[in-house]
Structure 1
Amino acid sequence: MPLTVLIPWRPQPSRVNAFDAVVAWYRENLGDVDIRTVDSDDEVFNLARCRNLGVASILDPNSVVIINDADTIPELDALLEAIDHAATSGRVHLPYTQYNWLGAKGTEQLLAGKAPHRADHEVVHGACSGVYVTTPSTWWSHGGQDERFRGWGFEDAAWYLAHETLLGEPPRRHQGRVFALHHVPELREGPNYDANAELMERYREASASAEAMSQLVTADRARFAPGA
């Protein structure tokens, strides 16, 4: 089965160690899998656009794609199960039921050789990002992610609502954990953050009906799907 790992990535000093650890994990566990980094020409790093651009670069609409943040390591069994199911389910799969943030101390422990699940960590409840497993056809079936979210915040939560509203169920989870490594956090303030929060509120309102959500998604995102 063709498999591609897409990593949205713009180098920053505090993120390099985490990125290297993610790539090393995939090399150790999935061998010569195709790993591609993705960036856009946006001045402010646009995570949603990078995810969309990465998926749009995959020629086979039914091949499985892992969209993996540059700071997040999954567990192998849950990931393999998600890969198997994503090929035919028509839904995006999250290979975890528990999202662990390692922080500076836990990340230092991991980089020194400690197993991720033994490193100091904090459980983040309600997380819906980090690692997605999908196919291009599934990704575009509910619009991909909204590229109007710029800078930090909300694109993953908005996507989750779009998936749940348009596909009739939330993304499917698999029993397991992911481990998010430490880096300098993004600012959660300013014009971009405020605009993101306002757009997120529109997603909450649109989640009341598939028609409203479809209109919100189609308004800005149809042009990102292949062939649009």
Structure 2
Amino acid sequence: MPIVTVIVPWRESPSRVPAFEALQRWYAEYLPEFDLRTVDATDGIFNLAACRNVGVAALSSDEVVVINDADTLPEPAALREAVAAAATSGLVHLPYTEYRWLGESGTAQVMAGREVSECTVEQVVETACSGVYVTTRRTWDAHGGQDERFRGWGFEDAAWYLAHETLLGAAPVRHAGRVYALSHVAEIRAGTHYDANASLMERYRDAAGDPTAMDQLVSEWAERKVA
């Protein structure tokens, strides 16, 4: 497999450094043909959606890219399968059917060298739609990417999923496998920005299933480049 670019939204904070270092070690050991690049797209409040969009925009239209959160370890086989499929499908791929949050105890076990699949799991989410995405810039542009009006933390991934379903006519493609989310100090999900994110999410829910309404919503902030 040729070298694959991995975009990692990243702004250093003390509690997140161990997880990010574990991610770097994971790729070096299990996925050495993948090239990690960090992206921080804004000077103000950290914006996950903007990081993902900026990272994808720097690539050629048909280059396959992995968008990987700085705290989430993907399984190699599922990720390689998703990369191969995303090149031609016209859809975003999720290299997992099970999202495992390890919590403090499971994360400590990973850091101590235990095989990640054998570590303590605090929560399993089978409907998760964040953590790791596989796409091309052409596919990302076709449904507008992720809405950069979601500032701080919360909702950008769920809104993106609805836009993908509505504008591309299908849900992102899942591949059998797991991702493992490592623990760190939780971000505050409250306050003015969080409330604004929640209100914007309601607009995405209202537009879900209606391509015209969704196109209008996405077009408020981004130009869709339909393939």
TM-score for the superposition, normalised by structure 2: 0.95
Structure 1 208/33 Cα, relative in aligned 2: closer, same or farther at 3 Å?
closer
Letter of the structure 1 residue corresponding to residue 136 of structure 2: T
8 Å contact from structure 1 (residues 2, 63) kept in 2: no
Work out the CA distance in 1 between the residues paired with 2:43 and 2:27: 28
- Between the aligned residues of both structures, percent identity stands at 61
8 Å contact from structure 2 (residues 151, 197) kept in 1: yes
Which residue number corresponds to residue 91 of structure 1?
Answer: 91
Work out the CA distance in 2 between the residues paired with 1:105 and 1:139: 36
Letter of the structure 2 residue corresponding to residue 156 of structure 1: D
Give the Å deviation of 1:43: 1.3
Q: What are structure 1's unaligned runs of at least 5 residues?
A: none
Give the Å deviation of 1:2: 4.8
User: 1:46-104: CA deviations, max 9, x gaps?
Assistant: 0000000100111x210110000000001011101100000110000000000000001
Which residue number corresponds to residue 156 of structure 2?
Answer: 155
Which residue number corresponds to residue 189 of structure 1?
Answer: 190
Q: What does 1:119-138 correspond to in 2, within 5 Å?
A: 119-121=119-121, 122-138=123-139
The runs of at least 4 consecutive aligned structure 1 residues that moved more than 6 Å come to none
Matched, 1:114 2:114: yes
Q: What are structure 2's unaligned runs of at least 5 residues?
A: none
Work out the CA distance in 2 between the residues paired with 1:195 and 1:74: 31
Residues matched between the structures, number: 223
Work out the CA distance in 2 between the residues paired with 1:179 and 1:63: 26
Matched, 1:101 2:101: yes
Work out the CA distance in 1 between the residues paired with 2:68 and 2:141: 17
Which residue number corresponds to residue 72 of structure 1?
Answer: 72
| TM-align CA RMSD | 1.2
Letter of the structure 1 residue corresponding to residue 114 of structure 2: K
Q: Give SS of 1:67's match.
A: strand
